[in-house]
Amino acid sequence: MKLSLKTMTAVVMMVGSLAATGCSTASAADAGAVAPEETAATAPVENTTNATTGVEKDARFFHFYAPFAPPAARFEVRGVAPSARHFWAPGYYRYNGREHVWVGGRWELRRDGLDFVGPRWVRRFGRFEYLPGRWVRRF
């Protein structure tokens, strides 16, 4: 059986396009929405208070979503601040793709001219979006 040049070209193009698309199965990292662990030291500095983050990517941020709300925040015993330059960064729940996991609060150093807004979850469009902690300039 002889194959014409047109048929052979079509077969090569189909095989090439299948190879270019790659594997269609999701990797383990993409299996669920996972909110990152963070500290006040790694939080970004922003001038506005309406920032978001997560798994879905828009022009500026990633957006992390969970299918259900986290439990109520836990009570934490703060103790005494190490110095007057420290503040209490409250604990929060992060979502690991299966469940909400508590990350305990801790004492962090203040930044001059900035206030820390802790991480939290908000309900948007029938699911829960994780808003990470961030530093906001005082006005």
Q: Is residue 14 part of a domain?
A: no
Q: Is residue 55 part of a domain?
A: yes
Q: Is residue 2 part of a domain?
A: no
Arithmetic mean of pLDDT, 101-127: 90
Q: Is residue 85 part of a domain?
A: yes
Q: How many domains does the chain have?
A: 1
| pTM (predicted TM-score) | 0.55
Give the domain range for residue 54. Answer: 34-137
Centroid of chain to Cα 7: 48
- Predicted confidence at residue 139, as pLDDT, reads 76
Centroid of chain to Cα 62: 6
Q: Is residue 3 part of a domain?
A: no
Q: Is residue 68 part of a domain?
A: yes
Q: Is residue 8 part of a domain?
A: no
Q: Which of 13-17, 28-32, 49-53, 88-92 has the highest mean pLDDT?
A: 88-92
DSSP 32-60: S-BPPP--TTTPPEESSS----BSEE-SS
